[in-house]
Amino acid sequence: MGKIALALTSADDGSLAAAERADLVELRLDHLGAPSYEALVDRFRGRCIVTYRKPDEGGVDGDVSEHVRLDLLARAAADERVWAVDFELGCHGHIPADPKAKIIVSSHDFEFTPHASDLASMRDEIESTPCDIVKIVTTARHEPDCFAVYSVLKGASKPIIALAMGEFGSPTRLVSLKLGAELTFAAAAEGKGSAPGQLALDEMLGLYRCREITAATSLYGVMGDPIAHSMSPAIHNRAYVEAGIDAVYLPFRVAGDPAEFVRRMVDEVGLAGMSVTIPHKEAVMNCLDHIDPVAKRIGAVNTIVVDAERGGPKLKGYNSDQRAACDSIEKAMGGEGSLAGSTVAVCGAGGAARAIVHGLADRGARVIVANRTRSRAETLAAEAAGTVEVLDPSELPGASFAALANATSVGMHPGETSSPVDPSALKEGMVVFDSVYNPLETKLMSDARAAGCVVVDGLEMFVGQGAVQFELWTGRPAPAGVMRSAALDGLRARGRKG
Ligand code: NAP
């Protein structure tokens, strides 16, 4: 099981308190200053890593001479209170004979990630030095760079730390633990990191439970671009804890080919399942061995199940948005079977609308599609099975329907004051469903409440699609209640950040 080291760059109260919660504390003396050595080594006796990075390896204290810097590292290596000392490759000639601390020999690349074979040569060179732990840090400029890091980890014959900096490399900070890395690093708090892409300690310990990640931990995630604000990690990781499942769910920023990414994640890291979000729901279908007929008809997959089968794992694609949205509407209309023969107006003709319109038509509803761009509504209506009519959004107040679903982005933050329909279209007793969940209470929803409608928020669909994914992946009922409270916590935290 890997350890978590807090990269201490400031001795303020918050950072020192965070350091108490970590297994190890990396004393970044180039940030903290050499005079702080005694007090900090004493405070973190037996669990500190002494690092005094030189400027061309990412250090910030450019005034100190190389001679002084290396002397301090050599002194730390002979100090019984120190857990480890980090010498950069090239400076390893200064490692004292018979050190008391463990010796890390490291290499950092702040520009890019070398090819996997070059990284392997570097690892072999470091392993040939008198080090106890190899450390290789690169910069990921796009997501395939992570695979070079994973391959260097898997081929190591000494204990190793390997990760890639930057947003694309961020998952390596956790996946490396599954692949046997000695430790990973965290920042004292968001924005206090010593390297790009470093996550805060509380996030690493709480959301991702990094101390529990082992080779046996099942790896799931969500891929998209952008991905930083996805709330899927919050709901899935909370669900695994609730269900007592040894699994972790990470966000992956993927800018290139999503099909290639998924294949490599399965083959090289043992991915167990993936959620797919914008803009990859169509292109990811190229890597699938089987696509659920509903997802095929919608033309979008948001869930990939990896089925271990003889002859290699098979990748299966589903669309959980469709089931979640239609279940939410159907429940509000009176339960199973209530959609058959009812008329539902759907605003929008994009990805979410496609899932909802196909799903409603499959359940026997008569559907009205109303979209700003009429031609897109007409295309969708022509593709869906069943009775589907097209109206302009301005015609909705004169139309008759039992439920209305907003599948446009109108009303979403920062456009909270807008609604996709005129309030006169909303009638007492009508079911009004909004797929937008940020904000949780949209203008459409408050108009609908004022008109006496039954209102369903977008979080119900969001949690519902996550619950369907959980069930597809684990074969167990999803703890939907805790998933919803995790999503609410996520929305509140987002609100606090503005
Ligand atoms: P999309 O494919 O980009 O489609 C956007 C839709 O919104 C299109 O129909 C577009 O009309 C319409 N639209 C955008 N701006 C508009 C405006 N100013 N006035 C009128 N119509 C406008 O996006 P999507 O993936 O379908 O997502 C749509 C919404 O569903 C988003 O708010 C998203 O957050 C939400 N969603 C929620 C969940 C959930 O779990 N709750 C899941 C998926 C999506 P045109 O065709 O005229 O451009």
pLDDT score for 220 = 98
Q: Is the CB of 24 under 6 A from ligand 1?
A: no
Alpha-carbon distances of 182 from 5, 15, 133, 242, rounded to whole Å: 10, 23, 8, 28
CA 33 to chain centre: 35
CB 74 within 8 Å of CB 96: yes
CB 158 within 8 Å of CB 134: yes
The residues annotated with a catalytic role in the active site are 108, 135, 281, 321
User: How many C-beta atoms surround the C-beta of residue 98 within 10 A?
Assistant: 6
Distance 352 CA to ligand 1 centre (A): 7
pLDDT score for 315 = 97
Q: Is the CB of 227 under 6 A from ligand 1?
A: no
Q: Kind and range of the H or E element at 399?
A: none
pLDDT score for 498 = 52
Minimum-distance ligand 1 atom for the alpha carbon of 458: 41
CB 274 within 8 Å of CB 244: no
Residue among 150, 246, 184, 238 nearest 7 (CA)? 184
Q: Tell me how long the chain is.
A: 498
Place of tokens 């069930």: 471
Which one-letter amino acid corresponds to residue 36?
Answer: S
Q: What angle do CA 335, 337, 342 make, to 5 degrees?
A: 100
pLDDT score for 496 = 65
Minimum-distance ligand 1 atom for the alpha carbon of 460: 41
Q: Is the CB of 406 under 6 A from ligand 1?
A: no
Residue-wise DSSP of 314-383: EEEEE-HHHHHHHHHHHHHTTSTTTTTT-EEEEE--SHHHHHHHHHHHHTT-EEEEE-SSHHHHHHHHHH
Cis peptide before 279 (omega within 30 of 0): yes
Distance 236 CA to ligand 1 centre (A): 24
Place of tokens 């892409």: 197
Distance 376 CA to ligand 1 centre (A): 12
User: How many C-beta atoms surround the C-beta of residue 52 within 10 A?
Assistant: 26
Gap between the Cα atoms of 432 and 273, Å rounded: 33
pLDDT score for 374 = 97
Which one-letter amino acid corresponds to residue 287?
Answer: C
Residue 42 carries which DSSP code?
H
Most informative mutation of 408, 410, 438 for ligand 1 (most atoms within 8 A of CB): 408
Gap between the Cα atoms of 336 and 462, Å rounded: 20
Place of tokens 């329907």: 401
pLDDT score for 497 = 61
pLDDT tens for each residue of the chain, 498 residues long:
789 999 999 999 999 999 999 999 999 999 999 999 999 999 999 999 999 998 888 888 767 889 999 999 999 999 999 999 999 999 999 999 999 999 999 999 999 999 999 999 999 999 999 999 999 999 999 999 999 999 999 999 999 999 999 999 999 999 999 999 999 999 999 888 888 899 999 999 999 999 999 999 999 999 999 999 899 999 999 999 999 999 999 999 999 999 999 999 999 999 999 999 999 999 999 999 999 999 999 999 999 999 987 778 899 999 999 999 999 999 999 999 999 999 999 999 998 999 999 999 999 999 999 999 999 999 999 999 888 999 999 999 999 999 999 999 999 989 999 999 999 999 999 999 999 998 999 999 999 999 999 999 999 999 999 999 999 999 999 999 999 999 999 888 877 665
Q: Whose CA is nearest to atom 36 of ligand 1?
A: 435
Paired tokens of 350: 């994009």
Gap between the Cα atoms of 194 and 372, Å rounded: 47
CB 447 within 8 Å of CB 475: no
Counting DSSP H helices and E strands in the chain, the numbers are: 17, 20
The helix-helix angle for 458-474 and 232-243 (nearest 10°) equals 50
